Structure 1
């Protein structure tokens, strides 16, 4: 008897239920219509969401409403109405083009996730990338990141007619040059390995940096996505669109929270009793994740925290009555790895760049016009 009690099924059964070829199934996943995740028994294979398949085939699903993404009505004052197939939060999980972000973080590199977010199925855009010869800009890692993006935005300013494959290669070049700007020139390692080499982190910590980058790549709809898509929709280059979005992301509560959380963790390790009274800096709880952010849980589970950091988080969660948010989890992980003070925000911004490039690319290739309305509420014309 066929039931929907088992949420995830293999490719063969998914194809049978849908009555389509494998290419169509993959298209459903890339467009976010069917969620997918790696098979725990064999990470080379994927499992597919039964509820999504049933929804496409019209089969009834008891309790289906709980699994739907958050849907909003028409754009209200101050809102823009956008369509995206890059990421979505559904059932308390974050999905990158239909695939569970936490599951991907178990083994995927930032390059793997970028290719998935950019819908680069067969070709590898990073294979076309060569190291850029030039002087690495000075300043902080964050300043170097923005300098690299600004340089690319200036170089790519001339409008060109380019095919999707060329645009994906451009995304890869932008991301590669940005990481080189942060980490400095060196061997052509994976992106997370270049950052680990820059920070002199051992291989164990390089894997934690990899996981953090993957989990930072995107987070559904926010102001950074709107900025990126608005600039891309206006005809700017991918680098210029990503620069606009990253500028907004750098001022976001998440990045600001990571900076404050890093300071809070340091203080809490030294003076736990005093610091627990200052819970506004602790980073416990997130209004966007009422049931707890799965990214934070996954990152902390992989961090192998020492006893003192475990105690800080345990006592803080007990006092706040809320679990750690992602910013605090990332700040705690960077403290455990003894990375520089600003490493948490640097990881957030570098990982997020891959996702913002995906939004810029998505807007260029498949994005519908952004519907926004400016309502004038100033003085009556000619009144003064």
Structure 2
């Protein structure tokens, strides 16, 4: 039985057994936290074969309060939830006053001039140094299949290659994220000149240079949003020891199967249909319960991302008319999903391009969540309540 060393009690170092009990994790996870620098460890002075772990670091991960001396403070409110609710602390993105902010900066304002690389650096807290400056093209990018298939294949490859449990510095992780994003865009867009990420995509889609800013804006505004299942999947995977690429892969696959993507697909299908029919298709679709892309619960006064993206270009008469018809039919303004679909049609991109833009832009944000969780995140814990048949029941 492992005991706590009373000689070091005032320094607040505890043995493995108590550390595991406080964290509520297995031994392998504790060792992963130590290897990643999230929990300090030192040899037990009375038995060098054993280790002691810093209470302050454990409290930071679990969210348990401590006073200035490092001693535990009684928690007046029970933590956790019988419903399996999870609370996640993030330094990346917040919606406030009907506006979206990336680390305190208005995302719409950023979209005026910023590239996806600029926003990635902000979300990764890498403004002092540019990790993309050290990225070199990779020979043998993933070929074949659709753009989305190449995107996922490249990310899966990086997830396999980066599965290394050794501790890495924050700077090394940021460089790893830059390489992942660069390689995934290369795989999706195809090899070519070392341009900005949005320019590579524009080149792949044969978008005129004068319209490339629309792709840039769409990527920037797609980078991150409020907490959702994709963010939770990314952070949970990171908390379990996954590399940034593997964690972002988990999040991106979650996003690909989410209600957000389903709405985007429906909105894209409607926009395509509108260009072949009269604009009163909006009213018919709404009457049938099939009109998607209008209204955003997070933005009661209207989605500022949609307004910024749609307001950055002149729309053909049929698309502009469709928007008016849709807003009249629903009584709500277009949201960001519909804006992506409209811009994809405006640029004459493929039917799936709106979703590809969302996934590629969001990859930068999910990599940011993986970094944030690895360096600053609190322990993710949820309770699973069994409601199945009684044990032994037949």
Aligned residue for 1:255? 261
**Partner Cα distance (1:137, 1:289) in 2:** 40
Aligned residue for 1:348? 358
| Secondary structure in structure 1 of the residue aligned to 2:225 | coil
**Partner Cα distance (2:379, 2:187) in 1:** 33
Aligned residue for 1:296? 306
Out of 374, 377, 380, which is 2:390 matched to? 380
User: Any residues of structure 2 matched to 1:126-165 within 5 Å, and which?
Assistant: 126-165=132-171
| Secondary structure in structure 2 of the residue aligned to 1:371 | coil
**Partner Cα distance (2:254, 2:298) in 1:** 18
Aligned residue for 2:232? 226
User: Any residues of structure 2 matched to 1:95-244 within 5 Å, and which?
Assistant: 95-244=101-250
TM-score, length-normalised on structure 2? 0.77
In the alignment, does 2:374 pair up with 1:367?
A: no
Number of aligned pairs? 312
CA contact (8 A) 1:284 1:317 kept: yes
**Partner Cα distance (1:141, 1:75) in 2:** 41
**Partner Cα distance (2:393, 2:174) in 1:** 52
| 1:134–1:96 CA distance, 2 compared to 1 (3 A) | same
| Secondary structure in structure 2 of the residue aligned to 1:209 | helix
**Partner Cα distance (1:122, 1:345) in 2:** 32
**Partner Cα distance (1:358, 1:75) in 2:** 27
Out of 272, 278, 282, which is 2:285 matched to? 278
**Partner Cα distance (1:332, 1:346) in 2:** 14
CA contact (8 A) 2:116 2:220 kept: yes
**Partner Cα distance (1:240, 1:229) in 2:** 11
Residue 284 of structure 1 deviates from its aligned partner by 1.2
| 1:278–1:343 CA distance, 2 compared to 1 (3 A) | same
Structure 1: gaps spanning 5 or more residues = 1-72
Q: Larger Cα Rg: Structure 1 or Structure 2?
A: 2
Pairwise CA RMSD of aligned residues? Answer: 1.4
TM-score, length-normalised on structure 1? 0.79
| Secondary structure in structure 2 of the residue aligned to 1:81 | coil
| Secondary structure in structure 2 of the residue aligned to 1:94 | strand
CA contact (8 A) 1:268 1:276 kept: no
Residue 107 of structure 1 deviates from its aligned partner by 0.5
Residue 199 of structure 1 deviates from its aligned partner by 0.4
| Secondary structure in structure 2 of the residue aligned to 1:276 | helix
**Partner Cα distance (1:295, 1:316) in 2:** 18
Aligned residue for 2:326? 316
Cα offsets for 1:231-273 (capped at 9, x unmatched): 0000011100000000001112222222221221121222222
**Partner Cα distance (1:226, 1:154) in 2:** 21
Aligned residue for 2:48? none
Aligned residue for 1:38? none
Find runs of 4+ consecutive structure 1 residues off by over 6 angstroms.
none
Residue 361 of structure 1 deviates from its aligned partner by 0.4
Cα offsets for 1:57-79 (capped at 9, x unmatched): xxxxxxxxxxxxxxxx9656142
Residue 379 of structure 1 deviates from its aligned partner by 2.2
